Structure 1
Amino acid sequence: MPHIDYFFATISPFTYLAGTRLEEIAAKHGATVTYKPIDIMALFPRTGGTNPKDRHPNRMELRAQELQRQSKKLGMPLNLKPAHWPTNAAPSAYAIIAAQNAGGGDLGALVHGVLRACWAEEKDIAEDAVIRDCLARAGFDPALADSGLLVGAETYAANLEKAVERGVFGAPFYITDSGQRFWGQDKLEDLDLHLAGTL
């Protein structure tokens, strides 16, 4: 059974645009997925990147155009300048880690729900009420927002270290058990083809 380690950030617009396609691809190929939320703002400087606020205007202009094109192509609403971005991504990451450990709900729906809240619904994903709502909508106990904070913090930090070790430098980032790496929501088709054995 193939396996995918999924490194992502809950404040990443490109992770939002991935939607639930990873889950569809995994189901198609009988693959398992381990969700690994990471602190993207800490990852960038450690892997040769630059945080958005420090990027040259040329790069940010293209980023904005690309986000608009991709959101239109995918039929997904996206606010280029969300009311609550950047925000503290740690609370939502901790909740996702707790939900993955607890089981019983739809983890892909939870991840996408958090991202949608940030990028399409003008909600602050650092707020407890928002996280609780996302948990409930995905079939998890909302109380998970308050549990496992220490484990969540430790796992979140460990995910960042593992990401650096394994060659991750952005989000979303997918790594198969064979060591193949795919960066970006626009590479999900390639991941699908790889799992099918044609790429």
Structure 2
Amino acid sequence: MAHIDYYFGTQSPWTYLAGARLEEIASRHGAEITYKPLDLLQLFDRTGGIRPANRHASRMEYRMQELIRWSDFLKMPINVKPAFWPVNPAPSSYAIIAAQKAGGGDLAGLVQRFVRAVWAEEKNIADDEVIRATLADAGFDPGLADSGLFVGAQVYERNLEEAVEAGAFGAPFYIVHESGERFWGQDRLDFLDRHLAQL
């Protein structure tokens, strides 16, 4: 059985636009997924990337066009200037880490709900009430938002270190354990699909 490490940021529009395609691909090939939320801005800093706030205007204008194109292509609504962005991704990431450890709910749905909250629902995913409601909507105990914060912070930091060591440098980023093949971006999911079919 193939195993995929999935590195992502809960504030990332490209993670949002990935939707449920990773899970559909994994299901088709019997692959397992480990969800590894991380501090995306620190990942940029560590691997030669540039934070959005520091990018040249032409890059940000093109990014805006691409977000609109992909939103239209995937039929996924997007607000390219969301009310709560940039947003602190740590609290929602800690909730995902706690939920993954606890089990019993829809982990993929939880991730998708958080990124959709930013990019399509104008919600602040750093707000405690939003986090608790999102956990509940995905079938998890909302109390997870208040527990395991220390462990969540440790895992969140470890995910960043593992991402750097594994060669990830953006989000969403998918790494297949068995082959070491890396796939960067929601627009590379078709290639991940093809690769898993060959294992």
Aligned-partner SS, 2:198: coil
Aligned-partner SS, 2:191: helix
The offset of 1:80, in angstroms, is 0.5
TM-score for both structures, normalised by structure 1:
0.98
Question: Where does residue 116 of structure 1 map in the other structure?
Answer: 116
Question: Where does residue 191 of structure 2 map in the other structure?
Answer: 190
Counterpart CA distance in 1 for 2:21 and 2:94 is 23
Counterpart CA distance in 2 for 1:102 and 1:139 is 11
**Runs of 4+ deviating beyond 2 Å:** none
The offset of 1:72, in angstroms, is 0.5
Q: Deviations over 1:74-112 (max 9, x none)?
A: 000111111000111000000000000000011000000
Counterpart CA distance in 1 for 2:192 and 2:34 is 15
The offset of 1:12, in angstroms, is 0.3
Counterpart CA distance in 1 for 2:31 and 2:174 is 12
Counterpart CA distance in 2 for 1:93 and 1:197 is 32
The offset of 1:39, in angstroms, is 0.2
The aligned runs of 1:26-105 (5 Å cut-off) are 26-105=26-105
Q: Deviations over 1:138-183 (max 9, x none)?
A: 1111111111100000000000011111111100000001100000
Q: Percent identity?
A: 67
The offset of 1:134, in angstroms, is 1.0
The offset of 1:119, in angstroms, is 0.5
Q: Deviations over 1:46-84 (max 9, x none)?
A: 101100000001100110000000000000011111100
Counterpart CA distance in 1 for 2:191 and 2:42 is 27
Counterpart CA distance in 1 for 2:195 and 2:35 is 19
Question: Where does residue 131 of structure 1 map in the other structure?
Answer: 131
TM-score for both structures, normalised by structure 2:
0.98
Counterpart CA distance in 1 for 2:146 and 2:72 is 36
Question: Where does residue 181 of structure 1 map in the other structure?
Answer: 182
Structure 1, gaps ≥5 residues long: none
The offset of 1:133, in angstroms, is 1.2
The aligned runs of 1:142-157 (5 Å cut-off) are 142-157=142-157
